[in-house]
């Protein structure tokens, strides 16, 4: 799948060995009257975890939105080398606690991309939901209200919703923010397991430890790509000092 806009740009350097799942060049995007991303060029490797890192306001969430197709670029080229649309898991705060939804209902919403919100779920849909809940360890919470969950339980519920979409590209916005160390470790282990199963994972994070455990890293600053490559190359003291001290 290829989306083309104006403004050509040099080809991106690969972030990791192997074929890319997503490529973009000259990518710019933003909101009415407020440009955010400026001329980004990168390749996101398939079957790997890529971390988007940078200070608040650097454009991480906007880039995820562009990759997910919910924000339209204003310039550049975007290539998705896959047959299924991405599965996008927003920040936990983007899903209201006051919504009268159970855990199971929340996970079932992931099937709307194929089924639509008004059609009854098939037996296969229910099997996909059951499997995702079992994998995330939340099957016993099926009848609980979303607003009653802990931060870790809520995040696992949203990731389960993403898994039911059967995409080979999973996009997560700050999946470990506000979680305790045990919950963060559980999420990190899950992402590694998903890659083993053939899923490409891209997550925005300000958690440098989570970024260091990724396979590839894109470092953003003021909507521009500062560095890309293996976390050991990108997340080093000199680069971090330069980026965060000027933020």
Number of structural domains found in the chain: 1
* C-alpha to C-alpha distances, 111 to 91, 119, 134, 152, nearest whole angstrom: 19, 10, 16, 22
Range of the domain at 139: 2-245
Residue 95: predicted pLDDT: 57
The residues facing 37 across adjacent strands are 29
State the average pLDDT over residues 33-61.
95
- Distance from C-alpha of 163 to C-alpha of 138, rounded to nearest angstrom: 13
What does the DSSP assignment read for 77-124? EEEE-SSSPPEEE--GGGS-TTS--BHHHHHHGGGHHHH-TTSPP-HH
* Structure token pair of residue 124: 């296969």
**Phi and psi for 27 in degrees, rounded to 5?**
-80, 120
- Distance from C-alpha of 65 to C-alpha of 223, rounded to nearest angstrom: 13
pLDDT tens sequence across 140-193: 999 999 889 988 898 899 999 999 999 999 999 999 888 888 888 888 899 999
Confidence grade of residue 9 (pLDDT, cut at 50, 70, 90): very low
Answer yes or no: are the C-beta atoms of 73 and 44 closer than 8 Å: no
* C-alpha to C-alpha distances, 139 to 73, 109, 130, 173, 205, nearest whole angstrom: 38, 16, 7, 23, 27
CATH number of residue 116's parent domain: 3.40.50.300
Residue 7: predicted pLDDT: 39
- Distance from C-alpha of 13 to C-alpha of 236, rounded to nearest angstrom: 19
- Distance from C-alpha of 28 to C-alpha of 45, rounded to nearest angstrom: 20
pLDDT tens sequence across 54-113: 988 999 999 999 999 999 999 999 999 988 899 999 876 555 566 789 999 999 999 987
pTM: 0.87
What does the DSSP assignment read for 170-186? EEEESTTTT--HHHHHH
pLDDT tens sequence across 178-236: 888 888 888 889 999 999 999 999 999 988 888 999 999 999 999 999 999 999 999 88
Residue 247: predicted pLDDT: 56
Lowest mean pLDDT among 39-43, 44-48, 175-179: 175-179
- Distance from C-alpha of 235 to C-alpha of 82, rounded to nearest angstrom: 29
């Amino acid at each position: 799948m290829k989306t083309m806009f104006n403004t050509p740009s040099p080809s991106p350097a690969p972030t990791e060995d192997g074929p890319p799942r997503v490529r973009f060049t000259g990518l710019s995007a933003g909101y009415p009257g407020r440009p955010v991303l400026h001329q980004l060029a990168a390749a996101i490797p398939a079957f790997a975890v890529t971390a988007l890192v940078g200070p608040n306001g650097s454009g991480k969430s906007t880039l995820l939105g562009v990759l997910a197709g919910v924000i339209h670029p204003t310039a550049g080229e975007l290539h998705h080398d896959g047959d299924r649309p991405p599965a996008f898991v927003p920040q936990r705060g983007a899903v209201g606690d006051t919504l009268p939804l159970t855990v199971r209902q929340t996970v079932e919403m992931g099937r709307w991309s194929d089924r639509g919100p008004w059609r009854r779920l098939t037996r296969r849909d229910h099997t996909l939901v059951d499997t995702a809940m079992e994998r995330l360890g939340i099957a016993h919470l099926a009848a609980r209200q979303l607003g009653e969950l802990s931060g870790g339980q809520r995040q696992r519920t949203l990731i389960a919703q993403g898994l039911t979409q059967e995409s080979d590209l999973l996009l997560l916005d700050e999946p470990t923010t506000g979680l305790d160390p045990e919950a963060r470790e559980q999420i990190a282990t899950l992402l590694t397991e998903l890659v083993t199963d053939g899923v490409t994972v891209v997550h925005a994070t300000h958690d440098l430890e989570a970024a260091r455990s990724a396979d590839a890293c894109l470092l953003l600053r003021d909507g521009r790509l500062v560095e890309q490559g293996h976390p050991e190359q990108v997340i080093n003291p000199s680069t971090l000092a330069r980026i965060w001290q000027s933020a």
